[in-house]
Structure 1
């Protein structure tokens, strides 16, 4: 359907004509914002646990001023309360920020996928407001909700796998069909995401049905957890058993969606009981991840990229230096890890039969706290991110790599360059949302300058495929370090890279029944 854009005379209430009907947004600080636009029918009732269905149209002008309600959430960081307060079943909505909502503008488009361990996450969080990135970067920014937890990623009998990923594909299809009306160029779409959002970006790179929906990809702190159907089904059975049910559409569709996260929370609270069956995911409290089911997701991202599936897609990928320190603090272990805890972590997560010894040899001065954080950071985020670039490069594709090494000033600097610190820096929302606590009060000039550099790099990559530093190769291994004084240097985590260089990040299996 042909699209067009119109603005009111004052320009304060811009209007666009999207495929499903007319939308009226609002102009905020020089950027047109449109919130809560449905991209699929509510996945409830007869559509519960189904693949997303195209949304119907509407007559007249639809107000697009408020975020849509998020899908039901787990209890982490108070997300369950936020989702309950929002109310409503129209979970699958997009939000758009555009400097120039005119069909002829042809601006680059950046589509954000938020993280949250595949268990929580909502686009309405203040840290994901796209206004500053859109205005300063000259790009159209899109955020959206997708199903998480049991609704989105549990392996349920008679339901398609990876419903959360299918929601993401549906959102990208909406962008393809509508973004020109908002001033965006559908041929210049960059998908970007962090943590589970970065893992989702990696999954989309490997999915046939996402082919052609984006030209570039930015994957921040990619988790290495991709489940086998057997493992995912066993976890789903444990969650359903908390309700006295089976993991089937027939059983679970009778449960109020807002009750399901509590079942997952209950399983998550006793992961030690499942370690012998679920292995590494139980040890790291990972309940949900994309499932390599052979249909929606045929292979892992590392295999897909290594085989050349994304040779024509430009990739920007990286991680923070101290990825796991935030989780160490959340778990009450910051600075108190014992030798026994460090040894157990090395035994569980270090690669190969001699992985623990190799860590101790490579880091002879590391104390238990450092070894514990190193192996967790490497297994969960750092090495999966690096290996994504390695796989792309091996297949003669193009990848740019970065590491955020600037230490968060919040909490007395105890968290270092921790997981999630990149989010406020990339969006420029340094004083809003939970990640703002990492910045620590009023943002310093150094924080503002670093944020500006990261926003510019991300926007330039979205526009031209070049973030401002050389592409990664296996000779020099040049990466951008984001610090108070940024520098381009050889990949700094060389000791860890060598320990993990032969690891393939395979599908995680069900260990025993």
Structure 2
């Protein structure tokens, strides 16, 4: 039987409940609904309420493809099904009476197109039982959150994240947490948002530590983001302005975005390499909300007082190539090596470095390197150059031969939400994988909690000479960075803001 518990926040009292030794509060609003006159604006702090507000269910989804709520067809705001109240967060605490537990704030990924903290794979209970207060939040995605829109601030989805982090500063003591010991952690698009938060003036002093998992290295110039937004809104016969889009319901915008995603590769000559990724959105380097791309800012000393843990999985892009229809065609492989690889003959570089790999395997390696692995490694290099403390990791363990150590496996292990039974049921599961997954997840979770607690997990800091890396297999090891062949290929490349190559 669950026991309910009430906590007073700055906006009012919320009622959660204890579930298996963890106090859980779901769907707490941290900002006003982003609809009507607030739709494309910066988040507005939630208004106070009287009485007690139930925090027993996850909040409704923000607008995104597949959302069936009535808000998707409306531009006015609050609707009968309550789906406008979508900027909410969730808290898992092992001890509401504690004084100063470490706080871990999860920023979910999803190609800047999806966000659902109700996803059972992001349940914070197991992590909280390790001795930390866990927070997750819904934030705006897609065009509402990341498109370049005239008259609106850029990076609205990240501004939502900042608003949630301010809520944490103001309220987390009541849940047993220490606002002076906050770690942000996130994966994929969430990891890239964290890299942006590290260098954003608005995010200063909102967190002490940061964990960026599998960050994609795509940050857009204003010119590139403007061209992409114009292509999306042209599908609707309007311009990418607040005035024109005020009358366009979210579903129409997500449909227009989907139409552009289906033909993005056609724009590669003007949009450049981002046209070969799964999404038309990324943080916009606008010189204001986001002053510059994170590598340059970290190398110049930004965030040198923030402890950083960064890394990736070994087989990042296998998630995409292992899907039905994901096997690359000759045309797709040619385009990838023409537009993603460094140097004048990237295919030759990869053939030399990986002589036993098939063309399809080299394509997968290239995409893993360009989109996830090398941006992460170079961010560690930049943080070290700027004088900041940084540690590096790689997840090399996998439970099945089809996907390997693919994108997204890491957060399933850290949250402990992929069960041995699910692993055992996979058609290509390794013989001992169901036994190993509990152990690997425990090792990673222990290291993440240790980092969040002290900033000093049990391996040496990264530096470009030794390149000390925590590698997670069935048993973790500490060794030099294992992807040396790819590191050499990309050693002279500079990751920076992606720009429009030329106008159409």
TM class, shorter-length: over 0.9
- Report the equivalent of 1:273: 266
Match of 1:455 among 445, 448, 455: 445
Q: Is the 8 A contact 1:404 1:482 kept in 2?
A: yes
Match of 2:408 in 1: 420
Counterpart of 2:144? 151
- Residue in 2 that maps onto 1:430: 418
Measure, in 1, the Cα distance between the counterparts of 2:346 and 2:363: 13
Compared with structure 1, are the counterparts of its residues 133 and 279 closer, same or farther at alpha carbon in structure 2 (3 Å cutoff)? same
Report the Cα offset of residue 435 of structure 1.
10
Corresponding residue for residue 4 of structure 1: none
Judging changes above 3 Å, is the alpha-carbon distance between structure 1 residues 331 and 270 closer, same or farther for their aligned structure 2 residues? farther
- Does structure 1 residue 126 correspond to structure 2 residue 117? no
TM-score, reference length from structure 2: 0.94
Residue 107 (structure 1) aligns with: 101
Task: Give 1:475's aligned residue.
Answer: 465
Residue 328 of structure 1 pairs with residue 324 of structure 2: no
Q: Please state how far the C-alpha of 1:91 moved relative to its aligned partner.
A: 1.4
CA distance in 2, matches of 1:188, 1:83: 39
Give the superposition deviation at 1:397. 1.2
Q: Distance in 1 between matches of 2:69 and 2:416?
A: 23
In structure 2, what is the equivalent of residue 312 of structure 1? Answer: 305
> Is 2:484 the counterpart of 1:489?
no
1:306-455 to 2 correspondences below 5 Å:
306-330=299-323, 332-334=325-327, 337=328, 341-409=332-400, 413-431=401-419, 444-455=434-445
Q: Is the 8 A contact 2:423 2:434 kept in 1?
A: no
| CA-CA distance at 1:340 after TM superposition | 5.5
**1:339 Cα deviation from its structure 2 partner:** 5.5
For residues 152 and 436 of structure 1, the distance between their equivalents in structure 2, rounded to whole angstroms, comes to 38
DSSP 3-state at the match of 1:25: strand
Residues 73, 83 of structure 1: 8 Å contact kept: no
2:175 corresponds in structure 1 to 182
SS in 2 for 1:459: helix
Q: Distance in 1 between matches of 2:397 and 2:280?
A: 30
166, 170, 184: which one aligns with 1:173: 166
| Contact 1:420 1:435 (8 Å CA) reproduced | no
Pairwise CA distance, 1:396: 1.9
Paired with 1:176 and 1:120, the residues of 2 have a C-alpha distance of 26
Q: Note the alpha carbon deviations across 1:133-170, whole angstroms, 9 max, x for none.
A: 001x2000000000000000000010001101111110
How far apart are the structure 1 equivalents of 2:206 and 2:423? 30
Q: Against the structure 1 CA distance between its residues 310 and 83, is the aligned structure 2 distance closer, same or farther, given a 3 Å change threshold?
A: farther
| Cα distance, 1:436 vs structure 2 | 11
Quick check: 2:186–2:211 contact (8 Å CA) kept in 1? yes
SS of the residue aligned with 1:512? coil
Which of residues 14, 23, 36 in structure 2 aligns to 1:23? 14
Q: Is residue 94 from structure 1 mapped to residue 84 from structure 2 by the alignment?
A: no
Aligned length: 493
Q: What secondary structure is seen at the aligned counterpart in 1 of 2:197? A: helix
Matches of 2:51 and 2:437, distance apart in 1: 45
Partner in structure 2 of residue 257 of structure 1: 250
1:445-482 per-position Cα deviation (integer Å, ceiling 9, x unaligned): 21011111111111110001122211111121110111
CA distance 1:84–1:50, shift in 2 (3 Å): closer
Structure 2 unpaired stretches of 5+? 73-80
How far the C-alpha of 1:354 sits from its partner, in A, is 3.9
Shift of the 81–469 alpha-carbon distance from structure 1 to 2, 3 Å rule, reads farther
Structural mapping, 1:2-17, within 5 Å: 12-17=3-8
Q: Which of 49, 57, 61 does residue 48 from structure 2 map onto?
A: 57
Contact 1:191–1:216 (8 Å) recurs in 2? yes
Inter-CA distance 443–98: structure 2 relative to 1 (3 Å threshold): farther
The SS at the match of 1:206 is coil
Specify the SS of the correspondent of 1:347: helix
Match of 1:3 in 2: none
| TM-score in terms of structure 1 length | 0.92
Would you say the 8 A contact 2:69–2:83 is kept in 1?
Answer: no
Change in Cα spacing, 1:259 to 1:503, as seen in structure 2 (3 Å) is: same
- The answer on whether the counterparts of 1:292 and 1:300 sit within 8 Å (CA) in structure 2 is yes
CA displacement at 1:444 relative to structure 2: 1.4
Maintained 8 Å contact 1:69/1:83:
no
Matched, 1:194 2:187: yes
In 2, the alpha carbon distance for the partners of 1:495 and 1:84 equals 49
* Residues 376-432 of structure 1, C-alpha deviations (whole Å, 9 max, x = no match): 0000000011111111111221111110001233xxx21110000011101011149
**Contact 2:443–2:476 (8 Å) recurs in 1:** no
Higher mean C-alpha displacement, 177-186 vs 437-446? 437-446
Structure 1: runs of 5 or more not aligned = 1-9
2-side partners of 1:107 and 1:439: how far apart? 41
